[in-house]
């Protein structure tokens, strides 16, 4: 970023070379703040690039969710300004092209928070310290994190985003502090972002968008016809089910009856979430004009069973 310009990826198939940020001084100021955050990372023995990648993954996930946040006012304003005043009918494209610039101040703020020992202490207290408990939705760490990105309402949203990069980082930090490690060597590293949690690049998103525009509802591209809100719901259900499965790894502790009860309750919750995801995916496929018989076969159901399951789910309008 130089002279109020945000340089764009030259390999991305789009016509802009840069974004004009002269009307958004907070983004320029965030670049200056990043230098101090990077120095704090080095003092803490962490490569600044790794801190940035994690913070960017956290905020990019919020960016996808924020499309449905009524409280979010800052990012839409910035995005329209980046687009020259009004993203208009090109909102989807501008959300791809402008994302990294628009969210940059929050990325810097999150990176700074993740490196702050006082924030780590809040998280330790939320986790129950030496008496482990599940991280609460109203925990102090996420509440203060929301305040640090100027969104006091964000705390409970961030705290319940199971399966996301923030919760993964929190879990890794708490486990390390307790001396508990999973067999996976990467699970010991709180700054490692799993591939599936890394946000798609601008170039990748633009390629997907181009393909979807060519064939939005045919063949294997039927997913492109599923509304973004429903895709987000399905992803959240699957992420939460994954989190329940991961919890089972540490469940074999304590009296036999308590361990068995915990195992069964956690497994039941995971199964329930997967069932909900299955119904959502079936409904999405049918509404995207995939034949019911094919959807039933995917779900290993008879057509009659599929009809019964989807009977109360609203179908798409139109022929």
pLDDT digits over 15-44, tens only? 788 899 989 999 999 999 999 999 999 999
Query: Is residue 25 located within the same domain as residue 142?
Result: yes
User: Is the per-residue pLDDT at 121 higher than 60?
Assistant: yes
Between vectors from CA 277 to CA 246 and to CA 282, what angle results, nearest 5°?
A: 150
Cα–Cα distance between 169 and 151 in angstroms, integer? Answer: 20
18 DSSP β-pair partners: 7
Query: Is residue 226 located within the same domain as residue 149?
Result: no
pLDDT band at 316 (very low <50, low <70, confident <90, very high): very low
109-133: average pLDDT: 92
Cα–Cα distance between 177 and 123 in angstroms, integer? Answer: 11
Query: Is residue 248 located within the same domain as residue 125?
Result: no
Identify the CA nearest to 199 among candidates 48, 46, 62, 50: 62
Query: Is residue 172 located within the same domain as residue 236?
Result: no
Choose the final residue of a domain: 169, 185, 214.
214
Q: For residue 135, what pLDDT is reported? A: 83
How many domains are contained in the chain? 2
Q: For residue 296, what pLDDT is reported? A: 86
Query: Is residue 228 located within the same domain as residue 158?
Result: no
Query: Is residue 227 located within the same domain as residue 209?
Result: no
225-241: average pLDDT: 72
Q: Using a pLDDT cut of 70, give the percent of the chain over it.
A: 81
pLDDT band at 94 (very low <50, low <70, confident <90, very high): very high
Q: For residue 174, what pLDDT is reported? A: 87
Query: Is residue 185 located within the same domain as residue 36?
Result: yes
Query: Is residue 189 located within the same domain as residue 256?
Result: no
Choose the final residue of a domain: 187, 214, 241.
214
Query: Is residue 202 located within the same domain as residue 259?
Result: no
Cα–Cα distance between 217 and 96 in angstroms, integer? Answer: 21
Domain residues for 261? 219-319
Query: Is residue 255 located within the same domain as residue 186?
Result: no
Query: Is residue 265 located within the same domain as residue 299?
Result: yes
Dihedral sign (CA 273, 55, 120, 154): negative
């Amino acid at each position: 970023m130089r002279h109020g310009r945000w340089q764009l990826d030259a390999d991305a198939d789009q016509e802009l070379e840069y974004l004009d940020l002269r009307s958004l001084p907070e983004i320029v100021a965030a670049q200056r703040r990043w230098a101090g955050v990077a120095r704090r990372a080095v003092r803490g023995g962490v490569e600044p690039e790794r801190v940035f990648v994690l913070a960017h993954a956290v905020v990019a996930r919020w960016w996808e969710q924020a499309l449905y946040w009524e409280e979010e006012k800052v990012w839409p304003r910035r995005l329209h300004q980046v687009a020259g005043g009004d993203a208009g009918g090109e909102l989807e494209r501008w959300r791809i092209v402008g994302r990294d610039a628009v969210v940059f101040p929050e990325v810097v703020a999150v990176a700074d928070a993740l490196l702050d020992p006082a924030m780590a202490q809040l998280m330790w207290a939320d986790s129950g310290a030496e008496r482990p408990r599940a991280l609460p939705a109203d925990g102090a760490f996420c509440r203060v994190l929301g305040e640090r990105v100027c969104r006091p309402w964000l705390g409970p949203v961030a705290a319940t985003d199971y399966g996301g990069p923030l919760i993964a980082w929190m879990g890794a930090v708490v486990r390390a502090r307790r001396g508990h490690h999973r067999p996976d060597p990467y699970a010991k590293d709180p700054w490692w972002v799993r591939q599936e949690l890394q946000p798609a690049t601008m170039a990748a998103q633009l390629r997907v968008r181009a393909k979807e525009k060519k064939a939005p509802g045919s063949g294997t591209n039927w997913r492109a016809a599923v509304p973004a809100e429903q895709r987000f719901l399905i992803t959240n259900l699957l992420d939460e089910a994954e989190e329940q499965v991961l919890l089972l790894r540490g469940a074999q502790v304590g009296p036999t009856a308590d361990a068995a009860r915990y195992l069964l309750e956690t497994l039941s919750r995971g199964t329930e979430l997967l069932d909900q995801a299955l119904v959502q995916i079936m409904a999405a496929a049918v509404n995207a004009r995939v034949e019911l018989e094919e959807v039933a076969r995917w779900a290993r159901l008879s057509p009659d069973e599929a009809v019964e399951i989807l009977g109360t789910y609203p179908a798409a309008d139109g022929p």
